[in-house]
Structure 1
């Protein structure tokens, strides 16, 4: 995957650039891929991150598909041309690289990062944001899959996303974070069933999540968590022949959502 990202930069030097936002506990780089046509100076930004939970492999693949569509389609595809005429796209395809590698090498269903906490390993990065931190849906137990970490933003991965979005500031129009599975399109709040103020414009309780933080603290109205295929037949072990259809479905919804931003 890293090789493919490097190749994108080489193949589309006038469209694609990258920047590093952090280094994980095991020494891996968190790299954001930026796609910009350069048509608009300081264009509004659509942020997309994938794989915050290591085992959700189809999310990584979907981020890669989005990057492929934005690059290969530019200049010839009307949808892509319209997107890049209005927005820059900043994509973090591998949000939790340590956990992702572990899910390949040792435990296919590993969810967290790989920071050691006593006799246990890892915090759930998507319970580590400062939005109702430590509340319902997150665990105080270090060995639990939903362990929230010792404090909000204790994890490099969550802090890197926070810092990147703060640095981009008012340019950020929308945030999408991709997960699997269940086929849900979710918006704030994850830690309560109360509707956000922007509900008319815009599932389970989970505290410390990224989209609640980006909506509530950073003020990004269009903050979405998208659960990709499937609805439980295969779960995290989605067959390879469903990767492209999953990515196509997301891209269609992604484009439609962006078209309707105000």
Structure 2
């Protein structure tokens, strides 16, 4: 029976992707020593089609760092030869990408509908937003804050006990389409809130005093595309005249050092900043909502993957914020909470120095609007699965992350400004 089940689920997994195959594709990790090796990576990226996983583009590679990237099957030998010939220290992080894409759906939960321990398609998430609000009218309400480029509704869930003048925390998921663990967290968080309200003292107290605005999927068009056409899609799906390249990196599209460092002005690049600042309908919707609710929003949290990092501003430059010491101490405490459950190790610090400079990000923008507690999570893992974290890791990943959010919530309540 079990073999049959596995066969069925593998069949289902392949059916998610319309004939897209990753046979023979590999993911490499290269350890970069110095500027000369940084240059060699630029040479390689010009010669072959490289999909950078970490950092997001070749322009962000720095000395004394590691870079992970995906290579198409027909170019694997060429890349291996190049790395060996140039003496670049490397390992194959993922030997068989196709196997990982299929094995991602390893949850044995038998459910054709929405499940918190599976990756859900947008259709299922959309239906879920309506259902969770309908089933929990005293705690959850759903609104639409805008539409995407392709005309989908951007649903926002407000979670909390009714009350006037409550401070709020804004959480968004699914900025980058291929980071599937991110929307899974937003769904899990809402479920935890409604499931434990009234029985668990901490959550009850938090929801009595705080509201959460949860945007389950920000880049819906991209997310749909990553399910139906291209699993590794990252950007939005907007088109602009004059180029056949599609999409903008939404996390380079905000008014925070827009299109300066770590962002590209080329429409074909994965880190394309967009034709203008806030060009994306999704960006505009988020920005407008936060501006309208600025006096109540005390913290902003954006959920990404992968790397196991907790970042805070700035990413747009190397400057430290005026709240650096407090944010650093808070991040340290949040990471300690998160690690307590499964001993998952996180690194924390300002974005620019902790990973790489990247201008136009939502966390920097939120901070500059006056939202002091502004954080970016890069969830599991550190590269073994990368963007293809198996469903069996959804529960532990979400459970540990909820602990960090609870800590932040209590901290915000004790340090209202």
Above 0.5 in TM-score? yes
Identify the residue that residue 249 of structure 1 maps to in structure 2: 400
Find the aligned partners of 1:132 and 1:111 in 2 and give their Cα distance. Answer: 21
SS of 1:131's partner is coil
The two structures have a TM-score, normalised by structure 2, of 0.61
Alignment partner, residue 205 of structure 1: 357
Q: Partner of 2:320: helix, strand, or coil?
A: coil
Alignment of 1:80-99 (within 5 A): 80-99=203-222
Q: Distance in 2 between matches of 1:258 and 1:220?
A: 14
- What is the distance in 2 between the residues matched to 1:129 and 1:15? 31
1:219-256 Cα deviation digits (max 9, x unpaired): 11001111100011100000111111111111011111
Aligned counterparts of 1:179 and 1:212: Cα–Cα separation in 2:
15
User: Could you tell me the TM-score, scaled by structure 1's length?
Assistant: 0.97
Is 1:56 matched with 2:56? no
C-alpha distance in 1 between matches for 2:254 and 2:248: 11
Q: Distance in 2 between matches of 1:111 and 1:161?
A: 18
Give yes or no for the alignment of 1:130 onto 2:255. Answer: yes
Alignment map for 1:94-243 (pairs within 5 Å): 94-117=217-240, 118-202=243-327, 203=354, 204-216=356-368, 218-243=369-394
Whole-angstrom CA distance in 2 between matches of 1:199 and 1:250: 22
Q: Tell me, which stretches of 5 or more residues in structure 1 are unaligned?
A: none
Query: 1:79 — aligned with what?
Result: 202
Contact preservation (8 Å) 2:149, 2:282: no
Unpaired stretches in structure 2, ≥5 consecutive residues: 1-124, 328-353
Aligned residues: 260
The superposition leaves residues 33-67 of structure 1 with CA deviations (integer Å, 9 ceiling, x where unpaired) of 001201x3120011000001111100000000000
CA distance in 2, matches of 1:9, 1:157: 22
Once the two structures are TM-superposed, the CA of residue 260 in structure 1 deviates from its matched residue by: 2.0
Shift of 1:193: 2.1
Q: How far has the Cα of 1:82 moved from its partner?
A: 1.7
- The structure, 1 or 2, with the larger RCO (C-alpha pairs under 8 Å, 6+ apart) is 1
Structure number, greater radius of gyration: 2
Q: For residues 162 and 25 of structure 1, what CA distance do their matches in structure 2 show?
A: 16
Question: Larger % of helix: which?
Answer: 2
Q: Give the secondary structure class of the aligned counterpart of 1:116.
A: coil
Q: Post-superposition shift, 1:257?
A: 1.9
CA RMSD of the aligned region, Å? 0.9
